[in-house]
Amino acid sequence: MSSVLIIGDYDEGVPLAFKLREEGHIVRIASEHCPHLFLTSKNPSSITSFTRMLEQFDLILSTREQVDPEVIETGRLIGAGAFHSRLHSPEYLRAVLLSLFPEMLTPQEGREVRLTFLFSKEMPTWALLSLPYARMMEGDRGPRVHAGLAHKMITQGKLFSLIAPLLPLLQKVVFRGPLAITLSVKEQALQLTNISASLDPSVLQGICEITRRPLFALLWKAMMGEQEEVMSNEYSICTSLLCADPQEGSHYLDPAPEALPHLWPISLKETPEGFQTSGGARLGTVSARGISMKECKRRVNRTIERAVKSPEVMWRRDIGDDAEERFEELRGWGWLM
């Protein structure tokens, strides 16, 4: 059992807190806007003044774009730091992109994909390739929301090699943790649209599913600068559970124990009566892995059946339907091996 501090602005660290608590760790959240998650337990709990307690934590996670220097100096930080804060400066980001990828800044329409590298010290040995589903309704229609992601692990190819030019910069700033590169991909061209060092729970869900590794173990090895050889031919998907007009304090989810390992609550808090919504429209995410997308969807649907009890909860039932074909399209264009 280890102690973990999660620093955030709103409730973006809640899924991480639930998962780490489930793995048996002591968790504290530092966020002014985060609800008290576990009213029946002190783990996790919300704290406001944490800088004097930094030496008490084995691992520090941050979903903020910037953190105080003393947090960086602990050497136990994942997901922020000097590299993260500078990267969110438009001028600095543009300078880096122009120097490394001058041909990739031309605006274009293509397939949106995301590459996430779990960076430790040396060149990563694998990356998570994600296909986003960014609208509320089936067929990718309606308002933009975070509806879901389909994931696949890659270990080589032209997309995987994009991390190599960034390696010296990452090593120079002693960066550790997930680094996500968002691209617009066409048959013979790429556009680099964003680089983010954020701790994205939806991507971490996909990584945990595909690698079959506990979240803490993955982040701990990254912090320690250790490489872990992981090979997987499986897919994973993450499907968001949404409520159009959530009523704070309502019970929309009543997950069975076997559903909890694959449920990542967001706008929820645990009470003696069960999970209550804290008012956000995105209640949580359900994740699953499988040797095919069909198997992933079967497992996600099974978890949703065991967790959702209100007809007001919505989710897209077509997440992953076209994912295998889209991955094959990227391979046919020569971007994947």
pLDDT digits (tens, 9 = 90+) for 243-284: 988 888 889 999 999 999 999 998 888 888 888 888 888 899
Say if CB 270 and CB 39 are below 8 A apart. Answer: yes
Mean pLDDT of 206-233: 88
Per cent of the chain over pLDDT 90 is 42
Question: Taking all residues of the chain, what is their mean pLDDT, rounded to a whole number?
Answer: 85
What pLDDT does 50 receive? 81
What pLDDT does 253 receive? 92
Burial class of residue 4, CB neighbours in 10 A (0-12, 13-18, 19+): buried
**Is the bond preceding 44 in cis, omega lying within 30 degrees of 0?**
yes
Confidence of residue 86 (pLDDT cuts 50, 70, 90): low
Mean pLDDT of 34-54: 74
Model confidence at 69: pLDDT above 80 = no
Token reading at 228: 């872990």
Say if CB 287 and CB 151 are below 8 A apart. Answer: no
DSSP 105: -
Q: Report the alpha-carbon distance of residue 174 to residue 244 in Å, rounded.
A: 42
Q: Report the alpha-carbon distance of residue 295 to residue 324 in Å, rounded.
A: 12
User: How many Å from the N-terminal Cα to the C-terminal Cα in the chain?
Assistant: 40
Helix residue spans in 57-189 (DSSP H):
69-73, 82-87, 90-100, 167-172
DSSP 246: P
Q: 139-142 long-range contacts, Cβ below 8 Å, gap at least 24? A: 139/318
**What pLDDT, in 10s, does the model give residues 110-163?**
889 999 998 888 888 999 999 999 888 888 888 888 899 999 999 999 999 888
Q: Report the alpha-carbon distance of residue 147 to residue 151 in Å, rounded.
A: 14
Range of weakest confidence among 28-37, 94-103, 170-179: 94-103
Mean pLDDT of 55-66: 86
Decide yes or no: CATH 3.30.470.20 for domain 3-332. Answer: yes
What pLDDT does 95 receive? 67
Per cent of the chain over pLDDT 70 is 89
Confidence of residue 208 (pLDDT cuts 50, 70, 90): very high
Domain ranges of the chain: 3-332
What pLDDT does 96 receive? 66
DSSP 97: H
What pLDDT does 82 receive? 44
